[in-house]
Structure 1
Amino acid sequence: MPVKVAVAGASGKVGREVVAAVVQHPDMQLVGALGRRSAGRDAGELAGIGQVGVLIERDVRRLLERASVDVLVDFTEAQAALEHAFTCIDAGIHLVVGTTGISRSELEDLDARCRQRGVGAVVSPNFAIGALLMMRLATLVAPYMPRCEIVEMHHETKLDAPSGTALRTAALIAEARGRAEGGAPDPVPIHSVRLPGLVAHQEVIFGLEGQTLTIRHDSTSRRSFVPGVLLAVQRVGALRGVHSLEEILFEQPPGALRH
């Protein structure tokens, strides 16, 4: 049986890519779409793949009354994503959330609710596989080159700064340095750039006397997020509570909340 997927933020730039990918995936079925803009329009038409018979709706409760959903994929805004999540958890629907700006305490609340209802959620600030590899490589370098700074660059309409990816990278570096140094390391400086023409880019620049090492990842298209989203959709049904995409990608054993 195909996984029945609804996409929140279906009229957005990432949402349209996810809609197209779900429709074209042999083991998935698009059954619903949410969006503040373009309500009433066909989600496939907006995604550029032609009509698929799924109209964009404004209200998640109305969508769940009409459609049987296994997984909700959410690329919206923090407050809307939490509202969608709590409604879906109560209905036993699993979650894949790429929305950024959700606080640690809100994630902990989400995790507790998911575990209470036996629901799985994959929450990641970045679903690009290369971005996760960039973060993992940075943690390998951090104990040997403890001085570093992060430069993250995004399109001018991105709402949060620093980005969720930069904050996550800084936290992972601090954790790796703390293990190596046996104490609380200084915070990693983050510099944010918002300009037209950019999509999503990040550099982690390490420095020692006489040398630097730079790890850089560039998303030049929103399609870079799609493989990670599809992987999460396929795996989230076996999870309980909130987990990171790193756990799935790097086959880490599911455990405590890692955000």
Structure 2
Amino acid sequence: MIHVLVAGFRGAMGQKTVKMIQSHSDFALSAVFDPKITINNPQNYGLPAEVKVLNHYDQLNANVADVWVDFTNPDAVAANTEAAINAGIHPVIGTSGMAPADQNRLIRLAKAKHLGGLIAPNFGLSAVLLMKFAQEAAAYFPDAEIIEMHHQDKADAPSGTAIATAHKIADGRTQKPLSTIDNDARGQRIDDVPVHAVRLPGYIAHEEVLFGGPGEALTIRQDSFDRQSFMQGVAVAIRKVQEADQLVVGLENFL
């Protein structure tokens, strides 16, 4: 049995994660975490009585949970991850927007403690495959742009998935892209890949990578129409993370 703590359990992704954990016979929801909670009664939040409702890092230890699943916000995720690692709980982080310096610091911390963890820009298998295919295509099409489309409430832009995709395109290139006009309309450049962020109601999570070459073009696109699509990846991460001895970036490390 894998005991799981969910941080950000009151949000849309947190609620999906809670239900997914409760639907698996090999998972147990042992705790939830939210520093804004003042009443620690799980039944006030529609949770079973045995679930611990925590609101402070001092309440954490390895007996609370095996795995910490985090769907909070960019302002809290680094501190949450550090607290989980220091408590001996394996972090599975789905929150976008972590600063590279924080990410590198947490990787070093987890390595020093020989604790496995995961930072996943995206838990959707289609998104993981898109990033893989984009990296492969970049060897033949160095000129690329990314359009990422999300719901209006997404706090970070560009998305963590788009940033990760840009890095993979840069890693896959065998030659430099052509020089182009550079202004505000060209999007934010990440590893010399223009990234355009769309925030509109009706969208969930979508990404399109456009490659151009002499006389031809290639488009790779993935669409997540329901947050349930991420739950298969979250379940994989929960099962695999305890087998790792370091904090890694990207769900593909566990596939």
Q: TM-score range by the shorter chain?
A: 0.7 to 0.9
Report the alpha carbon displacement of residue 79 of structure 1 after superposing the two structures with TM.
Answer: 3.3
Which secondary structure does the structure 1 equivalent of 2:128 belong to? helix
Q: Distance in 2 between matches of 1:247 and 1:80?
A: 24
**Distance change in 2, residues 1:43/1:224 (3 Å):** farther
Query: Contact between 1:7 and 1:73, CA under 8 Å: does it hold in 2?
Result: yes
Q: Distance in 2 between matches of 1:42 and 1:217?
A: 40
**Distance change in 2, residues 1:151/1:184 (3 Å):** closer
Query: Contact between 2:143 and 2:177, CA under 8 Å: does it hold in 1?
Result: no
Q: Which residue of 2 aligns with 1:256?
A: none
Unaligned runs of 5+ in 2: 179-190
Q: Which residue of 2 aligns with 1:192?
A: 197
Query: TM-score under structure 1 normalisation?
Result: 0.85
Residue-pair matches, total: 241
Which secondary structure does the structure 1 equivalent of 2:162 belong to? helix
Q: Which residue of 2 aligns with 1:224?
A: 229
Q: Which residue of 1 aligns with 2:145?
A: 149
Q: Which residue of 1 aligns with 2:188?
A: none
Report the alpha carbon displacement of residue 59 of structure 1 after superposing the two structures with TM.
Answer: 2.5
Q: Which residue of 2 aligns with 1:167?
A: 163
Report the alpha carbon displacement of residue 107 of structure 1 after superposing the two structures with TM.
Answer: 1.1
Among the aligned pairs, what percent are the same residue? 38
Q: Distance in 1 between matches of 2:219 and 2:165?
A: 14
Which secondary structure does the structure 2 equivalent of 1:79 belong to? coil
Q: Distance in 2 between matches of 1:184 and 1:23?
A: 48
State the Cα deviation string for residues 164-198 of structure 1 (Å, max 9, x = none): 10010011001100xx22x6987011111111111
Q: Which residue of 2 aligns with 1:255?
A: none
1:58 aligned to 43, 50, 55, which one?
55
2:92 aligned to 92, 96, 104, which one?
96
Q: Which residue of 1 aligns with 2:214?
A: 209
**Distance change in 2, residues 1:222/1:37 (3 Å):** farther
Report the alpha carbon displacement of residue 203 of structure 1 after superposing the two structures with TM.
Answer: 0.3
Report the alpha carbon displacement of residue 30 of structure 1 after superposing the two structures with TM.
Answer: 0.4
Q: Which residue of 1 aligns with 2:129?
A: 133
Q: Distance in 2 between matches of 1:136 and 1:201?
A: 16
Query: Contact between 1:45 and 1:52, CA under 8 Å: does it hold in 2?
Result: no
Q: Which residue of 2 aligns with 1:248?
A: 254
Q: Which residue of 2 aligns with 1:6?
A: 5
Report the alpha carbon displacement of residue 238 of structure 1 after superposing the two structures with TM.
Answer: 1.3
Which secondary structure does the structure 2 equivalent of 1:167 belong to? helix
Query: Contact between 2:107 and 2:247, CA under 8 Å: does it hold in 1?
Result: yes
Which secondary structure does the structure 2 equivalent of 1:76 belong to? coil
Query: TM-score under structure 2 normalisation?
Result: 0.87
Report the alpha carbon displacement of residue 61 of structure 1 after superposing the two structures with TM.
Answer: 2.9
Q: Which residue of 2 aligns with 1:75?
A: 71
